[in-house]
Structure 1
Amino acid sequence: MNDAPIGLLFSILGGLLILSAFFSSSETAMMSLNRYRLDHLKKNHRGARKAHKLLMRPDRLIGIILIGNNLTHILCSAIATVIAIRLYGDAGIFFGTLLLTLVVLIFAEVTPKTVAALHPEGIAFFSSHILRPLLIVFYPFVWLVNQLSNGLLRIFGINPDKSRDDSLSKDELRTVVGISSEKTPEHENMLINILDLEEITVNDIMVPRNEIVGLNLDDDTGILLDIIINCGYTRVPIYRGDINHIEGFLHMKNVSRLLRAGGEGFTQKALKRFAREPYFVPKNTPLNKQLLNFRLDRRRIGLVVDEYGEIEGLVTLEDILEEIVGNFTTNKAEDEKLGIVKLKHNIFEIDGSETIRDINKRANWDLPTGGPKTLSGVVLEHLENIPDGNVSLELESYRIETIELSDKSVSKLQVKKLLIKNKHETDNES
C-alpha cells in the first residue's frame, strides 16, 4: 500500500466513504420504516417484501450493517493514515485523523442518516436488494457475532428472542386516526366513534320505558289504528296491559296487509298473529357486541332488560348506527323535538328526561356520564331529594336551574356552561 499511487489511495478512500454512507443510511432507513405501511406495500412491492423479511430478524440486519460499517471505517482510517504519512510525515497522522473524523461525520454519518430519516422507504427498499445478498455471504460471521451479542444480553436478563409487539391499543389507534392524512372531520369522527363502541352500553342509548310507543292489545281497534297511523315507526312492540307482558314486534308492512284485506281483518288477534317473537337485550351489553348480535340474529330492534328481567327500554339498530355516523336528523326542529333548545351561547333549555350523552353531543359539553343517565337523574342525585320549588345549583362548570317540577322528577331545566377563570385572574380578584 505504501507504493500505491496517491490518487489510487484517495479513490479507494472515497469509495469506502460511499460504502460507509450506504450502511449508515440503510440502518436509519430500515429502523425508520412505518411497519403498518410496510405491511401494506409488501403486497405489491418487491423491495418492501425484502425489507420486511430483513426486519423479521433485526439482530441479523443490524449485525450485517454494523459489520460493513465498522470494516469501512477501519479501512478508511488505515488508508487515511498512509496518505497522511506519505504527504506530511509523522506530523500528518494527527491532522489526518481530525480531518478524517470530520469527513466521516459529515459525509458518511450525519448527511446520509438525515436523508434516510426523511425518505426511509426509498432508501430502505433499495438497500434491501444489497443487504440481503451480503447477509447470505457473511452469514457465518454475522451468526457468530449475534451469538456472542445475544449471550451477553442474556447475562443482563434481556431475552433477545422476544418478538417485538407492534400491535396498537385503542388509544394509540385513536391517535393514528387523528394524525392520518387524506381524511375529513366526518370520517375521523366516525372512526373514533367505532373505537368507542365498546365503552358504551345499550343502557346509555336506549329509549326509556316510559317513552316506548307500543300497541296494547287490551285497547280497542280504533285506538290501536290511531297509534299505528301517528307513531311514525316501522316496528312497534305489542303487549297486553303492561310492556312487561310483551307479545312481540309488529312490522308496519304486515299492518298494510291487514288493512288491504278489509277492516274486519284488523283485529287484536290478527295483529298478534303477524307479530314476530320478542327479542331481549341485557342492559349492560356493549354496543360493539350488540351490533354483532343484531347481525347474527337478523334483528333490528330489541327490548332492554335488567338483571331481574324487567323491561327498562328499547334499542334499535339505528340507535347504534347513530353512535357511529351521528344523528340522521340534525335540524333545529328535530333538536327541539328532542327537548334540547338553544337559547343563546352556552345556554340551553332541556327536558329532564334527556340523556346526558345527547346533551353533550348537542351542546358539545362534557357533563359527567358516570352516574345517572338523564339530566333529571343527575340533579336529583346531587340534591338527594325532590325539591319542593325551583332551585339553582352548580355542577362542576355548569349552572343548572330547574324550571318545571313534577312529583317524581324534574321536567324542564335551564343549563349554562360557566366560563372558568384561570388561576392568575382569580388571584387578582382576591
Structure 2
Amino acid sequence: MEDISTSALFIILGVLILMSAYFSSSETGIMSINRIRLRHLEKENHRGAKRVSNLLNRPDRLIGLILIGNNLVNIAAAQVATIIGLRLYGDMGIAVATFGLTLVVLIFAEVTPKTLAALYPEKVAFPSSVILKVLLKVLFPLVVATNWITNGMLRLVGITPQEIEEHSLSKEELKTVVNESSAMLPSNHQNMLTSILDLDHVTVEDIMIPRSEINAIDINDEWKDIARQLTNAQHTRVLLYRDQIDDAVGFIHARDALRLLTKEQFDKPSLLRAVREIYYVPENTSLNTQLIKFQEAKERIGLVVDEYGDIQGLVTLEDILEEVVGDFTTTQTRAPSEDVNMQRDGSVMVDGSVNVRDLNKEMSWDLPTEGPKTLSGLIVEHLEDIPDAPLGLTISGYKMEVIEIKENMIKMVKISSNTN
C-alpha cells in the first residue's frame, strides 16, 4: 500500500468501518427479529420475511457468514489503520492506530449499529438479507468449511446444530404476550383470550352447581305443587327426580312444559313422556374437553358424577362460556357479589358457600383452588375440623374470622386483605 496516498487510505478505512457496521447490525437485526411476526409476514408472502426466514433455517451458516465477513473487514481495517498511524506518527503510530481504531470501531461499527438494529430489527434485517443471501453464495465453500469444523467441536459436547429449537410459545408465555398487548387489545378481549388458555386447567367440578343448590322438582310431590313449580321455573331446563337427586328422571324443557300446561289433560304420565334423557359428565373433565363434548352431543346441560356414579352437581354450556366471556345477565347460580359485602373497616363479609374461584375473580385474591371448591370447605380442610364460632385463622396470607356456623357448615366469614 506504499503507492496509495494517505487520504485514499482514510477513505478505504471509512468504507471498511461501514462494512463492519453492516455486518454488526445485520447480526443483531436478524437475531432480534420477532419470530412470530416473521412467520406472519412470511404467510403474507413478504419477500424480506421469506429471505430472513430462509437464512434463519440454518443459524450456524448465517452466524458463520456474518462473522467471517466481519472479521475479514476488521482485520483489513486494522492493517490500514496501522499503515496510516506509521505514516503520521512514526513508531508511535501503532499504539495510536490500535487505540484510535478500537474506539472508532466500538462506537461506529458495534454499539451504534447494533443498538439501531435492536430498536428496528425489521428495517435492518429485511434489506440486509439481500446482500447476505448473495454473500452466502459467494462465500459458501468457506462458510461450509468453517461450520464443519465448529459443528464438529459442538458434537464433542453433545450439541447438534441442525436440531434447531422451535420457537413455539407455551401457554404461559402466550398469556404473557396477550397481557402485554394492552395497546392493541381491549382489556375484555385480553381476559377472554387468557380464559380460553386456562380452560384445560379448569374442570367441570370447579364451576358446577353443587347438588345441594340444584333447583329440581320431585316427581312424587303433589301434582298441583309440580304444576306450580313448572309455571314459576326460572330456567329453560328443569331437572325431575324421585324423592332424591340421585334418582334423577331427566330434564324437562320449559318450552315443552308450557306447551303441556296449556292442554286440558296434563298429568304426571304426560310430563314423564316429555322428559329428555340425562347427559352425564365426569367431574374431572376439563372445560376445554367438555365444551367439545357438548358440541358433539348437541347438549347444553349435564349432571356431574364422581367415579362411583353419584351425582355431585350440574354444569351447563352457559357456565363454560361464562369462564371465557364473563357472566351473562342470567345465571343458574348467585353472582359472587351477592355473597360478598364490603365493610367500612376494609374487611369483607363472605358467605361460606361461595365458590373460591369466583371469590378470587371478584376480589382479585389468590386463595388456594386446588382442593375444596367452597370457602367453607377450604377452611375446614385447613383446620382439619369443623370449627366453633368465633374463630380466627390465616390462609395464604388472608386473615379470616369464622362468624357463623349452621348445620355443620360455615355460613359467614370475615376476611381481611392479604398481609403479604
After TM superposition, the score normalised by the length of structure 1 is: 0.89
Aligned to 1:426: none
By how many angstroms is 1:33 displaced? 0.9
Aligned to 1:20: 20
CA distance in structure 1 between the aligned counterparts of 2:232 and 2:405, rounded to whole angstroms = 27
After TM superposition, the score normalised by the length of structure 2 is: 0.91
Equivalent in 232, 236, 239 of residue 237 of structure 1: 239
CA distance in structure 1 between the aligned counterparts of 2:203 and 2:418, rounded to whole angstroms = 32
* Cα distance change, pair 168–419 in 1 and its aligned pair in 2 (3 A): closer
CA distance in structure 2 between the aligned counterparts of 1:379 and 1:93, rounded to whole angstroms = 78
By how many angstroms is 1:136 displaced? 1.4
Counterpart check, 1:409 vs 2:409: yes
Deviates more, 1:76-85 or 1:56-65: 76-85
Counterpart check, 1:271 vs 2:280: no
Aligned residues of 1:17 and 1:72 also touching (Cα < 8 A): yes
Letter aligned with residue 416 of structure 2: K
Q: Once the two structures are aligned, what percentage of the paired residues are identical?
A: 50
Any gaps of 5 or more consecutive residues in structure 2?
none
Which SS does the other structure have where 2:284 is aligned? coil
Any gaps of 5 or more consecutive residues in structure 1?
423-430
Which SS does the other structure have where 1:147 is aligned? helix
CA distance in structure 2 between the aligned counterparts of 1:384 and 1:12, rounded to whole angstroms = 82
Deviates more, 1:286-295 or 1:269-278: 269-278
Aligned to 1:218: 220
Aligned to 2:76: 75
Aligned residues of 1:399 and 1:418 also touching (Cα < 8 A): no
Aligned residues: 415
By how many angstroms is 1:386 displaced? 4.4
Counterpart check, 1:185 vs 2:181: no
Aligned residues of 2:350 and 2:415 also touching (Cα < 8 A): no
* Cα distance change, pair 344–271 in 1 and its aligned pair in 2 (3 A): farther
Aligned residues of 2:337 and 2:362 also touching (Cα < 8 A): no
Aligned residues of 2:61 and 2:147 also touching (Cα < 8 A): yes
Aligned to 2:94: 93
By how many angstroms is 1:10 displaced? 2.2
By how many angstroms is 1:363 displaced? 3.0
Structure 1 residues 175-212: Cα deviation after superposition (integer angstroms, max 9, x where no partner): 22222242233222222222222222111111111211
* Cα distance change, pair 107–382 in 1 and its aligned pair in 2 (3 A): closer
By how many angstroms is 1:23 displaced? 0.6
Aligned to 1:341: 341
* Cα distance change, pair 243–327 in 1 and its aligned pair in 2 (3 A): same
CA distance in structure 2 between the aligned counterparts of 1:108 and 1:337, rounded to whole angstroms = 61
By how many angstroms is 1:307 displaced? 0.7
By how many angstroms is 1:372 displaced? 2.2
Aligned to 2:129: 128
* Cα distance change, pair 419–21 in 1 and its aligned pair in 2 (3 A): closer
Deviates more, 1:333-342 or 1:195-204: 333-342
* Cα distance change, pair 349–100 in 1 and its aligned pair in 2 (3 A): closer
CA distance in structure 2 between the aligned counterparts of 1:258 and 1:210, rounded to whole angstroms = 28
Letter aligned with residue 416 of structure 1: I
By how many angstroms is 1:404 displaced? 4.6
By how many angstroms is 1:90 displaced? 3.9
CA distance in structure 1 between the aligned counterparts of 2:418 and 2:280, rounded to whole angstroms = 44
1:333-412 correspondence to structure 2 within 5 Å: 335=335, 338-344=338-344, 346-386=346-386, 390-396=389-395, 397-406=398-407, 408-410=408-410, 412=411
Aligned to 2:261: 259
Aligned residues of 1:21 and 1:109 also touching (Cα < 8 A): yes
